[in-house]
């Protein structure tokens, strides 16, 4: 399997460069970070919010979602030294976590003193549809999406995925770029560059909260199984299962690097027909009822499935999920 090596360095007149497979090229695509839009679609308030695509971090522009804006926010003060990595749901993008500039999940996370990175990953198709009732397909399919390395038993459509399309690679590449272009931002705390090019090993998971909506919440749960993270936050998720049963990989907390009984938290709305199994998955994982909110308000114009992420009326619940 080809492994992409990316390291930001300075060449010439201080312009950022990227190292690929031992060769150096000048990265003219991202000489500075772009500020988040403050009006229109995808708007966010504040002067410590940036957008950057995976391609702008030096990864190939041909990969799935490689030219989609990722959101990176840092707290203006009282930083906790914790990074929240967010995964959007199926068919979505990092923009999904915004809702409105004044009342978004990302904004609440920043107000809680968290750095935020909403990663663009290969999410065009729902994992449930890819696995189509095959219980043994869910975990390897998710692992393939996270690592960019095809796993035995994963959905066949992912057989040609490449490392640069993996979510781990994109998280690490974004952190390298943010540290180079926003050197006072504190991004270096979340990546051990001595462990590159192994992106999963290089991310300092103990300083990371992983969060996600729908498909993204399932990825957050799997990361919590693979790595010891600070917290796992699942919005209207996980959804993996066959019939009325949750997927085998979710049915027991045994083997989890992060303890689901103390560090997993869930938020869902009543009547969610898209992901009705989420509360059952939380119970199977051994999460206490105090970590489960099953009646998140549904605001006008939103579905029960989308409400845990999209409704500002859940801002207090978001703050509680992300509190120290």
* DSSP line for 185-227: S-GGGGB-GGGTT-HHHHB-GGGEEEEEETHHHHHHHHHHHHS
2 belongs to a structural domain:
no
Q: Which two tokens stand for residue 91?
A: 């068919």
Beta bridge partners of 234: 212, 266
Do 90 and 125 contact (CB within 8 A), yes or no?
A: yes
What is the enclosing helix (H) or strand (E) of 90?
A: none
Is the pLDDT at 17 greater than 60, yes or no? Answer: no
3 belongs to a structural domain:
no
Range 146-168 burial, b when 16+ CB lie within 10 A, else e:
bbbbbbeebbeebeebbbbbbbb
d(CA 308, CA 85) in angstroms, rounded, equals 17
1 belongs to a structural domain:
no
- Give the number of domains in the chain: 1
33 belongs to a structural domain:
yes
25 belongs to a structural domain:
yes
pLDDT of residue 98: 76
> In this predicted model, what pLDDT tens digit does every residue of 215-274 receive, in sequence order?
999 999 999 999 999 999 999 999 999 999 999 999 988 899 999 999 999 999 999 999
CATH code for the domain in which residue 118 is found: 3.40.50.1820
227 belongs to a structural domain:
yes
107 belongs to a structural domain:
yes
d(CA 211, CA 224) in angstroms, rounded, equals 10
d(CA 188, CA 128) in angstroms, rounded, equals 36
For residue 79, the 8-state DSSP code is -
Is the pLDDT at 323 greater than 80, yes or no? Answer: yes
201 belongs to a structural domain:
yes
Coil, strand or helix: which one is 181?
A: helix
Cite the DSSP H helix spans in the chain. 105-111, 127-131, 138-147, 167-181, 199-202, 215-226, 260-263, 278-284, 307-310, 315-321
pLDDT of residue 31: 58
217: Cα separation from own chain's centroid: 8
pLDDT of residue 216: 98
**CA atoms in the 13 A half-sphere facing the CB of 234:** 34
pLDDT of residue 22: 27
Of 284, 215, 290, 227, residue with least CA distance to 255: 227
Is the pLDDT at 304 greater than 90, yes or no? Answer: yes
pTM of the model: 0.90
pLDDT of residue 24: 26
pLDDT of residue 11: 30
Give the pLDDT band of residue 183 (cuts 50, 70, 90). Answer: very high
Quote the Cα angle for 59-65-70, to 5°.
80
Contacting residues for 23 by C-beta, under 8 A, at least 6 apart: none
Whole-number Cα distances in Å, 139 to 153, 166, 240, 269: 9, 15, 9, 25
pLDDT of residue 253: 86
Contacting residues for 58 by C-beta, under 8 A, at least 6 apart: 6, 8, 18, 20, 27, 30, 173, 177
């Amino acid at each position: 399997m080809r492994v992409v090596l990316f390291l930001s360095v300075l060449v010439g007149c201080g312009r950022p460069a990227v190292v690929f497979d031992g060769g150096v090229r000048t990265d003219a695509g991202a000489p500075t970070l772009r500020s988040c839009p403050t009006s229109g679609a995808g708007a966010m308030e504040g002067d410590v919010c940036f957008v950057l695509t995976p391609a702008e971090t030096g990864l190939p522009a041909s990969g799935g979602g490689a030219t989609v804006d990722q959101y990176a926010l840092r707290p203006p003060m009282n930083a906790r030294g914790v990074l929240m990595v967010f995964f959007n749901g199926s068919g979505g993008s990092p923009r999904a976590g915004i809702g409105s500039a004044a009342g978004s999940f990302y904004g609440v996370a920043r107000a809680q003193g968290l750095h935020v990175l909403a990663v663009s990953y290969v999410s065009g198709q729902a994992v449930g549809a890819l696995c189509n009732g095959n219980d043994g397909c869910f975990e390897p399919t998710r692992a393939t999406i996270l690592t960019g390395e095809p796993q035995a038993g994963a959905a066949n459509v992912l057989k040609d995925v490449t490392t640069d399309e993996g979510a781990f690679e994109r998280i690490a590449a974004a952190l390298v770029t943010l540290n180079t272009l926003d050197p006072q931002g504190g991004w270096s705390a979340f990546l051990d560059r001595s462990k590159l090019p192994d992106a999963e090993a290089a991310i300092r998971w103990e300083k990371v909260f992983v969060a996600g909506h729908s498909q993204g919440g399932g990825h957050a749960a799997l990361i919590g199984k693979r790595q010891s993270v600070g917290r796992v936050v699942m919005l209207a998720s996980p959804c993996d299962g066959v019939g009325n049963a949750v997927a085998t990989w979710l049915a027991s907390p045994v083997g989890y690097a992060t303890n689901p009984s103390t560090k997993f938290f869930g938020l869902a709305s009543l009547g969610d027909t898209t992901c009705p199994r989420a509360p059952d998955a939380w119970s199977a994982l051994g999460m206490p009822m105090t970590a489960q909110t099953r009646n998140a308000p549904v605001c006008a114009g939103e579905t029960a499935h989308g409400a845990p992420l999209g409704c500002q009326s859940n801002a207090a619940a978001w703050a509680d999920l992300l509190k120290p």
